[in-house]
Structure 1
Amino acid sequence: MPQLDVDGATLTYDDEGPRDGEPTPLVLVHGWTANRHRWDHQMTHFADARRVIRLDLRGHGESTGGGVRTIAELARDVLALLDHLKVQRAVLVGHSMGGMIAQTIALDHPERVERLVLVNSIGRMAYSRGRGLLMAASTLVPFKLFVAANIQRAFAPGHPREEIRAHVRASADTPREVVMTLYNAMRAFDVLDRAGEIQVPTLMIHGYHDIQLPVRQMLRMAKAYPDAVVRIIDAGHELPVERPAELTTALDRFLTAA
């Protein structure tokens, strides 16, 4: 289980697959309160033929550290890991907050990105008045209830309750300071007006039942991308664990497209 020390954090990561430089390495970035194991299905599938890298973001999973206040700071951690591994160019795949990190890297360091995959992610947080009031009120409840409320509503109706409870427990293990500061970082994230600057082929894959980051917000972003493919799947916000095989298939097709 390799680790890297970066600016007061110890990042735990996996680096598997061939190192001959072809095809371009795949880098998997998880979302808020999650960990690198969100990508188990994709790691197993792709690492036979391609180098695949995934990490626990600082303060998540088996990584330590906090103090981060912005999505850009998390992006710098990912770039530090890629520099350490001597990966100059990658296919970035980000789920939710991980997609925000991937967009930040694509905008600020376009030379490092060959293709971009955004899973249940958007370029600007936008709340209706009612949902904004609900989300603001949720921060006033005890921490574990705040986490549970946000994770439970991330899954599509009918998802097995025991699986949801397991994800709630794992998310609640993320330190409170990390959870709350990154919650605010996501609320502040806004690169929608710069979306047209991202010139690389991009796959936007979204759960139809996502009420955390609704499909219409992703479609608003897709209109601004010059080279985007959109795929909608019958899932909620947690597509990597709700429909892992379908996500892998969509990603595989995108990576092998001319």
Structure 2
Amino acid sequence: MEAQHQETSQYVSLQYLDVGTSNADALPLIVIHGLLGSADNWRSHIKAWQQTRRVIAVDLRNHGRSPHAWGMSYAAMAGDVLALLDQLEIERAHVLGHSMGGKVAISVARQAPGRVASLIVADIAAVAYEHGHDAVFAGLRRLEEGRPKNRREADDLLAEHVEERATRLFLATNLERGGENTLELRIGLDQIEAGYEDIIAPPAGSQPYTGPTLLLRGANSHYVNQDNLETTRNVLPSLRVVALKNAGHWLHAEQPEAFQEAVRLFLDAQENSDSAGK
């Protein structure tokens, strides 16, 4: 009989990176990674953005250094982020999310619009997606079973299921040295797999977020298309779409400078608009 796991009712206390200037004129930027990512993946971008504003990059539940908990609904994950904003006494911030993190960001904006000054969504639409991670999960399970002693062994194990080396390198960022001198996954893989139907579902929330919104998409990515853009505009009516050339779904890694600049220009425009309105 398949085990049933009840979603955690209380919010998870997220781990996070908190860096940057204490510039009182610039609102903080909250950065939310995608599925099987972590705050660590964003360090190079944070280094660029922290020159002008405070940047908080979170580890979502079951990711990075954050606790493991049953339940991967967008309502729950958005609640975790809002609880962190309460903890840090941040009343209002810009929110950026990539892929699954983009859906979390949309959910935060829909559930607490007054706390989101602007929204940046990276290569994801506000719709349900098809299953697409079977090979990845199989590779991660093979890692658990194989208990590799080094990165080369880990890559060989992952390669049994995952062909793309770039994907394998990304997945390997979830490995850490364990007690028996083997590499172990730090993610809550059981919880993530159990919650996968919620992960591919649409964002949480019942009302549109009407604040300024930028969708950065990879020009070569299939995640955002004309059909799901129409649905996304119903959820985010102030949406502006910018495509980054020579980039796919991992646009922030494939075109880092263009991604950083697009984010910077958008945030500057929001704050200049706010200043003009005062």
- Confirm or deny a common fold (TM above 0.5): yes
Cα separation, 2, equivalents of 1:103 and 1:239: 19
- The aligned runs of 1:142-161 (5 Å cut-off) are 142=138, 144=140
**Secondary structure class of the residue paired with 1:210:** coil
In the other structure, the counterpart of 1:208 is 219
Relative to structure 1, is the Cα distance of residues 10 and 82 closer, same or farther in structure 2, using a 3 angstrom cutoff? closer
Aligned length: 235
Would the aligned equivalents of 1:192 and 1:221 in 2 still touch at CA under 8 Å?
Answer: no
Larger Rg: 2
Relative to structure 1, is the Cα distance of residues 77 and 31 closer, same or farther in structure 2, using a 3 angstrom cutoff? same
In the other structure, the counterpart of 2:29 is 26
TM-score normalised over the length of structure 2: 0.74
**Match for 2:250: what amino acid?**
E
**Match for 2:217: what amino acid?**
H
Relative to structure 1, is the Cα distance of residues 48 and 216 closer, same or farther in structure 2, using a 3 angstrom cutoff? same
**Secondary structure class of the residue paired with 1:69:** coil
In the other structure, the counterpart of 2:111 is 108
- RMSD value, Cα: 3.1
Would the aligned equivalents of 2:92 and 2:114 in 1 still touch at CA under 8 Å?
Answer: yes
1:251 aligns with 2:256: no
1:178 aligns with 2:191: yes
**Match for 2:122: what amino acid?**
V
Relative to structure 1, is the Cα distance of residues 86 and 8 closer, same or farther in structure 2, using a 3 angstrom cutoff? closer
Task: Point out the more displaced range, 52-61 or 7-16.
Answer: 7-16
* 1:63 pairs with one of 31, 42, 66: 66
- The aligned runs of 1:91-106 (5 Å cut-off) are 91-106=94-109
Cα separation, 1, equivalents of 2:166 and 2:137: 23
* 1:38 pairs with one of 25, 28, 41: 41
Cα separation, 2, equivalents of 1:68 and 1:60: 13
1:189 aligns with 2:199: no
- The aligned runs of 1:205-244 (5 Å cut-off) are 205-211=216-222, 213-224=223-234, 225-233=236-244, 234-244=246-256
The alpha-carbon deviation at position 40 of structure 1 amounts to 1.8
Would the aligned equivalents of 2:98 and 2:123 in 1 still touch at CA under 8 Å?
Answer: yes
**Match for 1:243: what amino acid?**
Q
The alpha-carbon deviation at position 254 of structure 1 amounts to 0.7
The alpha-carbon deviation at position 180 of structure 1 amounts to 1.0
Question: What does the per-residue CA deviation read over 1:187-215, in whole Å, with 9 as the maximum and x for residues that have no partner?
Answer: 23256984xx211110000112223x233
Share of identical aligned residues, percent? 27
The alpha-carbon deviation at position 142 of structure 1 amounts to 3.3
Cα separation, 1, equivalents of 2:90 and 2:205: 27
Would the aligned equivalents of 2:72 and 2:196 in 1 still touch at CA under 8 Å?
Answer: no
TM-score normalised over the length of structure 1: 0.79
Would the aligned equivalents of 2:29 and 2:53 in 1 still touch at CA under 8 Å?
Answer: yes
Cα separation, 2, equivalents of 1:51 and 1:141: 35
Question: What does the per-residue CA deviation read over 1:197-236, in whole Å, with 9 as the maximum and x for residues that have no partner?
Answer: 211110000112223x233355224543332211111211
